Structure 1
Amino acid sequence: MVPFKAGAEFLLSGTAHPPKAGVRAMEVEAALRFNDGSQWRKTLLIAGERQWKKNLLGAAPTDAKALGPLPLRYEHAFGGVDDKRDKVDKRNPVGRGFAHRGRVEPGQPLPQIERGPRFIVRPTEQPEPAGYGPIPSHWQPRLEEQKGFDLKALEDGHCPYPRNVSASLFNCAPKDQRFPQAFQGGEQLSLRGFFPDHPGAVELELPQPTPEAFLVIDNRWQPLTLQCDTLQVDTDAGELYLVWRVGIPWPVSDPREAWVLVQAPHSQAEHETEPHAEQEVTA
């Protein structure tokens, strides 16, 4: 859990499933249509295993092998470590294909997940690591936003971050999966290439009901306004998660006890009465 995010972001984990046996390359695509009519779309290129081989001009990729189901993990995207020259791609240290100044070795694997518009064909190409998943805070470009972290304050139980932190400090999605506004519900989500039994696009609508939250302090119920800032999809599990968040200013010197109660939306008739502690809630 993180205290805040800027705008909203989309995250996806899953597997690319070839439309038929024997194909050497394919696409996966995630798309969103927002309530104002604007659209977002991100397509990734997926290839069977390739390696660098020597040729008259230096090196060239081998033909791709037949493609099987491929987990969409950063281990299969561009990046990695050049052990021979003690260099690392800080954008994706666990990836494959990276070589300092393009000095690839024969047999070195190429990435299987790329952003495109075409696959890598030259050793000097070093594209952005491609994926839909979260980027760890110690990878670039997120590492740039971690400046000023105070380990001593953290050890003492205080906030380790300076006052002027970036609003996107805790956003973890790739930058092309971030949006200026929170999700409202009713957005149309389209997913293609993630389901073995559905080679075409699978479409669904994000649910509209918003959970209700209350700050309970001094025996008073204060309504809180939640913002849905994260949409996360697990295509392998067939699950979709919406994360709502709210910030509550609270002086460290305030000794009062308080609770935040979250409950499912109620009908209009129930909204007309004050909530009761006996109602079923989830903290």
Structure 2
Amino acid sequence: MSVDNRTPFPAIAFRQFNLAGDLLGVVAARGTFLLSPNGPLVPAKVQAPLVLADTYDGDPHQAPMLFQSDLTPFKPGTDVTFIGAAHSPDGKPQPSWSCGIRIGPVAKRLRVIGPRKWHAKTLRKRGWFAQGEVEELDEWRLSKPDPVQYVPIDWRLAYGGRLPGHADPGPKGCYEFNAIGCGIADDEKFQEVREISAPQIESLDKPITSPAGKWQPEGLGPIPPWWNQRHQYAGTYDDAWLEQRHPLLPKDFDFRFWQCAHPDLIATPWLKGNESYELENLAFRHPSLKGWLPGLQMRVRLDRGAGLQDAAMVLDGVHFDLRPSGARVYLTWRTAFPWPERRGLPIVECQGEMAEAA
């Protein structure tokens, strides 16, 4: 749905039912910015288009999520997400190091590690009813990591993946908090699979010490909607919902479902848009990259037949994309308002001093 866009950033309007069944209008805008060390984010001369569907780096059930759809109706807080890699502080191969991101009141630090394996250590015991010896699993031993210069911040390198003993080839047979991860061992198949990849991303405070248990997968990237971090807020879709509520959302739907960042990186309430940030070992050749958000205020004006009304848009997404294809930061703003009859054309405006486009 079109808008009267008076900003340099792409914007869109669409309508969405709220939990009460009322039609709301939603206006979303997405700005593309460049990093400016020790300065504010700078608008890019070429603005990336709106993202109209969740985007993945391949098969959504095997590859990480890269971008969330801009057609998200509402977020109660600001998502801070990052895709890219952690780089060793001195540029030389190292077995492990720390990295992290801080922006305003939220921060998260991780430990990244070079490639390593869980190896099955076995014992041989004399069998009770068979001749010869029987091989048994004693423990899984973790190898020393290989030194590397960088580690991708990728959910495939965090704890998770397929669960032992599950025949379901789909998501139900995977770890509910990270379906595409690694490091889960199947003790029953140790003779067939004697080594498995161990996670290369973990908490600074709680290092992974075994390939079993419900370890919290650690990362900075967007989280898909069917992982438990988000799915727990989706509500109940049962026969009662189908008969009494459909096509509305369930009454127990929680709008935190739309937050796609790691829970540690959700700012509630929203960021104001002028906060400082710091990237620790997440930018190539910049062990500590500091700057601040551009301080822009986005607004929507609309005349629905009763005079012009004005509403502020909240900053609900800060997404750092520092992949080698080109460093970009994407900011998303959003607002919603009653719009049952779709009267008027939303006017999107930007306030604040904007750094020169780069």
TM-score range, shorter chain: 0.7 to 0.9
- 2:235 maps to a residue whose letter is K
Question: Is 2:146 aligned against 1:65?
Answer: yes
Deviation at 1:150, TM superposition (A): 8.1
Cα distance between partner residues in 2 of 1:124 and 1:23: 27
Q: Which residue of 1 aligns with 2:194?
A: 106
Cα distance between partner residues in 2 of 1:73 and 1:243: 22
Deviation at 1:109, TM superposition (A): 0.5
Cα distance between partner residues in 2 of 1:222 and 1:150: 40
Q: Which residue of 1 aligns with 2:205?
A: 117
Structure 1: stretches of 5+ with no match in the other structure:
34-38, 268-283
Cα distance between partner residues in 2 of 1:141 and 1:118: 19
Question: Is 2:251 aligned against 1:175?
Answer: no
Question: Is 2:72 aligned against 1:2?
Answer: yes
Greater displacement, 96-105 / 12-21: 96-105
CA 174–47 in structure 1, closer or farther in 2 if over 3 Å, else same: same
Question: Is 2:280 aligned against 1:214?
Answer: no
- Runs of 4+ residues deviating >6 angstroms: 101-104
Cα distance between partner residues in 2 of 1:50 and 1:266: 49
Structure 2: stretches of 5+ with no match in the other structure:
1-70, 123-137, 168-172, 354-358
CA displacement 1:38-87 (0-9 Å, x = unmatched) = x4321111111111113364121111012232221111111001366544
Q: Which residue of 1 aligns with 2:115?
A: 49
Question: Is 2:285 aligned against 1:197?
Answer: yes
Cα distance between partner residues in 1 of 2:237 and 2:339: 21
Q: Which residue of 2 aligns with 1:128?
A: 216
Deviation at 1:21, TM superposition (A): 2.2
CA displacement 1:148-204 (0-9 Å, x = unmatched) = 3489x99xxx744124421312111111111221111321100011122112x1111
Cα distance between partner residues in 2 of 1:5 and 1:159: 20
Cα distance between partner residues in 1 of 2:178 and 2:161: 6
Deviation at 1:250, TM superposition (A): 2.7
Q: Which residue of 2 aligns with 1:25?
A: 96
- 2:119 maps to a residue whose letter is K
Cα distance between partner residues in 1 of 2:307 and 2:247: 28
Question: Is 2:315 aligned against 1:228?
Answer: yes
Question: Is 2:106 aligned against 1:40?
Answer: yes
Q: Which residue of 2 aligns with 1:143?
A: 231
1:71-82 equivalences in 2 (<5 Å):
71-82=152-163
Question: Is 2:83 aligned against 1:13?
Answer: yes
Name the SS of the counterpart of 1:242 in structure 2.
strand
User: Residue 157 of structure 2 contacts residue 182 of structure 2 at CA under 8 Å; is this kept in 1?
Assistant: yes
Cα distance between partner residues in 2 of 1:53 and 1:163: 48
User: Residue 216 of structure 1 contacts residue 261 of structure 1 at CA under 8 Å; is this kept in 2?
Assistant: no
Deviation at 1:122, TM superposition (A): 2.3
Name the one with the larger strand percent.
2
Deviation at 1:2, TM superposition (A): 0.8
Cα distance between partner residues in 2 of 1:108 and 1:63: 13
Question: Is 2:345 aligned against 1:259?
Answer: yes
Cα distance between partner residues in 1 of 2:187 and 2:119: 17
What is the TM-score normalised by the length of structure 2?
Answer: 0.64
- Which structure has more relative contact order (CA 8 Å, sep 6+)? It is 2
CA 118–146 in structure 1, closer or farther in 2 if over 3 Å, else same: closer
User: Residue 98 of structure 2 contacts residue 204 of structure 2 at CA under 8 Å; is this kept in 1?
Assistant: no
- 1:31 maps to a residue whose letter is R
1:241 alignment partner, one of 306, 315, 330 = 330
CA displacement 1:85-126 (0-9 Å, x = unmatched) = 544211111110123679864211001111232532323344
